[in-house]
Amino acid sequence: MKIWKALAGLAGVAAAAALIPYKVEKDDETGVTAVKALAWTAVKAPNPEDGGTKVDITFLPGLTPEEPADGIDADEAPDPAEAEMFDDSVNLADIIPDPDKA
């Protein structure tokens, strides 16, 4: 029975870690404030349309197709050296020496 209490306590700690904010960023020039937690992100910014404020809340940031996770940029041009490594037109026989001919 003690193992279930330990697992429940661990689950509670994990839930708290996912829900409690760990970073608050405020940009005084633009008036944008971002609050970040592991499971969600909230951004408060001035709304230029009506002069009020706009709040955007994103759950599981970085996992949606609109917002790729940390630094993945699909529009970035591929590195030519890397493209050569993954080229399918190269035969393995051209790369791996034949032990019978050595």
Question: What are 51-101's pLDDT values in tens digits?
Answer: 788 888 888 766 655 555 555 555 566 677 777 667 777 677 777 777 777
At 89, which amino acid appears? S
- Give the model's confidence band at 10: pLDDT under 50 very low, under 70 low, under 90 confident, else very high: confident
- Percent of the chain at pLDDT > 90 equals 0
- What pLDDT does 71 receive? 53
CA angle 88, 81, 71 (to 5 degrees): 100
* CA distance to 40, 75, 89, 93, per residue, from 85 (Å): 38, 20, 10, 15
Within its chain, how far is the Cα of 81 from the centroid?
26
- Helix extents (H) in 2-90: 2-19, 80-85
Kind and range of the H or E element at 42? strand 40-46
